Chains A and B, each alone.
Chain A
Amino acid sequence: MKRRELIQWLVATAGLHRLDSLAPQELLALGRHVHRRAAAGRALDAHALQTVTVAAERIIPATDTPGATDAGVSAFIDKMLADWHTPAERDRFLAGLPELDVRCRARAGKDFVDCAEADQVVVLMALDDESRSTSSGEHWFARLKYLTVFGYCTSEAGMRALGLFPLPWRYDGCAPVSTH
């Protein structure tokens, strides 16, 4: 439901009165929920999409060149989960992703997206290490990272940053690395 639709519904059903009984904390949660609904992806709900967006940006941050957010990586990941991966692969990913919240709550008492960047990085580094030592198929975090790198390096922002676009339209087999 979009915010405008919610307000129309509240007015039309006299539901506004119900808001009086809500505590400020609950009102905030309701507002955040409605906001996230508006930004949901196809495979990822709003919270998951936001989580993926922040995690991807921590993996490939904006520096002097664009980062994962600038490159639209989370939309690509949502597209891949919705239309490319098998249901089993998608379920494995979606089942793993809330681990970011679990670990951040244990560490800092907040969801991943609300944690300080330093806490986010610690949690992601630990998962990166663990994903490399698992033996039971691909770790969900390895998939997130793979899709982040692939999505970044095949985006316009990423390919420009990597010097892969625009195309040179010539061949030099022994060019100095600094050449673009």
Chain B
Amino acid sequence: MAVLQSARTDFDAIVVGSGMTGGWAAKELTELGLRTLVLEAGRPIVPEQDYVEHTPPWDMPFRGLGDRRAIAARQSTQRNSVSFDELSHVFWTDDVDNPYTTPADRPFHWFRARQVGGKSIIWGRQVYRWSDLDFEANLRDGIAVDWPIRYADIAPWYDHVDRFIGVSGQAEGLAHLPDGQFLPPMDLNCVEQHVRQRMHDRFGRERILTIGRVANLTTPHLGRAPCHYCGPCHRGCITRSYFSSVNATLPAARATGRLTLRPFSIVRGLIYDARSNRITGVRIVDAQTRAEREYTGKIVFLCASALESARILLNSRVGNSSDQVGRNVMDHIKWGGGTGQFDGWSDRREIGDRPNGIYVPRFRNVASRHPDFIRGYGFQGAADRPGWRSALRAPGIGAAFKQRIHDLGPWSMSFWGFGEMLPSADNRATIHQTLVDKWGIPSLHIDCRWSENDLAIHRDMNVTAAELLETAGAKNIEHPNGPSTPGGTNHEMGTARMGRDPKTSVLNGWNQSWDVPNLFVTDGAAMTSSGCQNPSLTYMALTARACHHAVDLLKRHEL
């Protein structure tokens, strides 16, 4: 299209990263007519070769337990992710090649993915909208800075993303957890239906249980097949039934004929021209050959993940006049909640492996004020029967013991909280003074801890999970051994926040750098507060919105 008369740059747009947000930037920018280069630090992914979700346990050398020695040697951090296993470990980085540090007494789990598709291959696929309860939270509480946007600004972009990625879910009409453009919901199992009803009887609309809103298809959708309930989504999906950039956005971008995707391209830094105050391009090192080269573009989108994008900005020494880049590291606090057993339904079982659970939307500090903390948390969880795993340490041998293996065991229901983390300038990633990665790029030092408010939220998860379970008639209630390690939820965000003032924020309300107008950051780095909802949907909506804005500015020759 005739948006861009000038052909002086290699590309119209450069997108750093090909995952959750990079894929969306690629799709939107190419569909809007821009010749777009996507730089991915890791290897290409070929679904027919690299997706291994249907490999049965007996074809794995360690039956799913993983190559313990190799993992201890090379992936001692990555292995802590809930979606890391014997097969999916190839979708996580090598910790030796990609080092970072933390204070000795303040561990931080930095889970990282380097391949085309990034973490969108291994994500949990839970998608929840934010509302003005979240966008107004910092202003209301006098915490950090105010979001420069409200729900009305992002709602059409949530719709836009929902319609493309395909989200199954149940509309519930809650103002603080807006409904989306849902495909038919997945089913609750018998015990979950029972718990939903008991919660309704006692708590009415205050605490509801709904089926998870998940980016897995329940009907054919834009050429992708519905979910067939095989289970291990984090190993890929050959039927493309869950959303990932490999499964959906990158093919859409490729279909325009305007996408150039370059794997093995590690961004060393942004090239800044002080005279024009523009990013003129990106300098990369080839991960395999170590060859270095530069690509030029009119606009640059950083979609490398919150901490990688901050690292690129800090190493490039651009966009940080506010001194906020790398600060306000947030995650979601978890491993609070509870599990309880149920008598009954012993003649019922689940057939198939539903890649989804239940959701209890936030109920703290919604209609009333909690004395111990601000903000809140939502519960995810599920009911199931343990099956043979409960026999691993059961007594007995022989035919009777074998029957024990076949017994499905009692039903139990779990609630696991995901709690909001407050932003703090002291939770900070900085460039390490001496440590570099395998390619000589300076690494990060990450210093992050839970606040007293975060920990109060975590404690309350155990209290209310027990209330919900007791309400439903559960017994033998146990609590998880939390809190989680910061970073452990893999929802890291906040390291280049949006705001209303260039002095206190990195990005304006369009994810655009206050300092350098042709630079956009649209991954989790842009988040001004953390909410308690799984954040990827919001990252995607912000990305699509920023892309359309950037192209409008280009058309008006304002970049």
Interface residues of B in 229-258 (CB under 8 A from A): 229-231
Contact of B187 among A61, A171, A180 (CB under 8 A): A171
The one of A67, A129, A150, A169 that contacts B352, using a Cβ cutoff of 8 Å: A169
Least CB distance from A117 to B in Å reads: 10
B346 CB contacts on chain A under 8 angstroms: 177
In the assembly, what is the distance between CA of A152 and CA of B389, in Å?
11
* B188 touches A (CB below 8 Å): yes
- Cα-based distance from A173 to B212 in the complex (angstroms): 14
Closest chain B CB from A74 CB (angstroms): 14
Residues of A within 8 A of B188 (CB): 173
Q: How far is the CA of A60 from the CA of B68 in the complex (A)?
A: 26
Q: Mark B344-358, 1 if CB is under 8 A from A, else 0.
A: 011111111110000
The answer to whether A154 touches B351, judged by C-beta atoms less than 8 angstroms apart, is no
| A173 touching B63 in the complex, CB below 8 Å, given contacts A60-B401, A146-B393 | no
How many A-B contacts at CB < 8 Å in the complex? 129
Q: How far is the CA of A157 from the CA of B232 in the complex (A)?
A: 21
Given A61-B399, A149-B392, also A171-B354 (CB < 8 A): yes
| Structural contact, B395 and A171, CB atoms closer than 8 A | no
Contact status B392-A159, CB under 8 Å:
no
Which of A149, A169, A170, A172 has a CB less than 8 Å from the CB of B405?
Answer: A149
A174 and B348 form a contact (CB under 8 A): yes
Q: Which of A61, A145, A176 has the most CB of B within 10 A?
A: A145
Assembled-state Cα–Cα distance A84/B61 (Å): 10
Q: What are 20 of the A-B contact pairs (CB < 8 Å)?
A: A59-B398, A60-B405, A65-B402, A79-B62, A83-B69, A121-B397, A129-B395, A150-B63, A154-B57, A154-B64, A162-B405, A162-B406, A167-B229, A167-B231, A169-B229, A171-B352, A173-B188, A174-B348, A176-B347, A177-B408
> Given A63-B402, A154-B57, A156-B58 in contact, is the A172-B395 Cβ separation under 8 Å?
no
Give B56-79 interface residues, CB cut-off 8 Å to A.
56-58, 61-65, 67-69
Residues in B neighbouring A121, C-beta threshold 8 A: 397-398
Q: When chains A and B are docked, how far (Å) is the Cα of A79 from the Cα of B391?
A: 22
A80 touches B57 (CB 8 A): no
Whether A61 and B398, one on each chain, are in contact in the complex, defined by CB atoms closer than 8 angstroms, is yes
Closest to B397 in A: A59
Q: Which of B90-135 contact A (CB under 8 A)?
A: none
Cβ of B203 within 8 Å of any chain A Cβ, yes or no, is no
Whether B186 sits at the interface, judged by CB under 8 Å, is: yes
B228 within 8 A of A: yes
B-side binding surface: helix, strand, loop or mixed?
A: loop
A119 close to chain B: CB less than 8 A:
no
**What is the interface size of chain B, counting residues whose CB is below 8 A from a CB of the partner?**
49
Chain A residues contacting B439 (CB-CB under 8 Å) are none
CA distance A79 to B392 in the complex (A): 19
Quick one: closest B residue to A142, CB to CB?
B393
CA distance A59 to B229 in the complex (A): 32
Of residues 53 through 81 on chain A, the ones whose CB sits less than 8 Å from some CB of chain B are 58-61, 63, 65, 67, 76, 79-80
Q: Does A110 contact B (CB under 8 A)?
A: no
* B351 lies within 8 A of A179 (CB): yes
Question: Is A9 at the interface (CB under 8 A from chain B)?
Answer: no
Residue tally, chain A, CB below 8 Å to B: 46
A167 touches B352 (CB 8 A): yes
Contacts of A156 in B (CB 8 A): 56, 58
Cβ–Cβ < 8 Å partners of A146 in chain B: 392-393
Q: How far is the CA of A107 from the CA of B5 in the complex (A)?
A: 94
Interface centre among B61, B192, B351 (most CB of A within 10 A): B351
Q: Which of A65, A83, A149, A170 contacts B391 (CB 8 A)?
A: A149
Tell me whether A159 and B351 are in contact (CB under 8 A): no
B197 beta carbon closer than 8 Å to chain A: no
Task: Name A71's closest neighbour in chain B (CB-CB).
Answer: B58
Say whether B229 contacts A168, CB under 8 Å.
Answer: yes
- Interface status of B396 (Cβ within 8 A of chain A): yes
Q: How far is the CA of A142 from the CA of B406 in the complex (A)?
A: 19
- Can you add 14 more A-B contacts, CB < 8 Å, to A84-B62, A162-B387, A167-B231? A59-B401, A60-B402, A60-B405, A83-B62, A84-B67, A129-B395, A149-B391, A154-B58, A159-B58, A165-B56, A171-B350, A171-B352, A172-B352, A177-B348
Given contacts A58-B397, A84-B69, A128-B396, contact A172 B228 (CB under 8 A): no
What's the nearest-Cβ distance from chain B to residue A51, in Å?
15
A152 pairs with B352, CB closer than 8 A:
no
Q: Is B388 positioned at the interface, with any CB of A under 8 Å from its CB?
A: yes
Interface bits B402-434 vs A (CB < 8 Å: 1, else 0): 100110100000000000000000000000000
Complex-state Cα separation, A124 to B408, whole angstroms: 25
A170 and B229 contact, Cβ closer than 8 Å, known pairs A60-B401, A63-B399, A146-B393: yes
Tell yes or no: B190 within 8 A of A by CB: yes
Pair B352/A84 contact, Cβ less than 8 Å: no
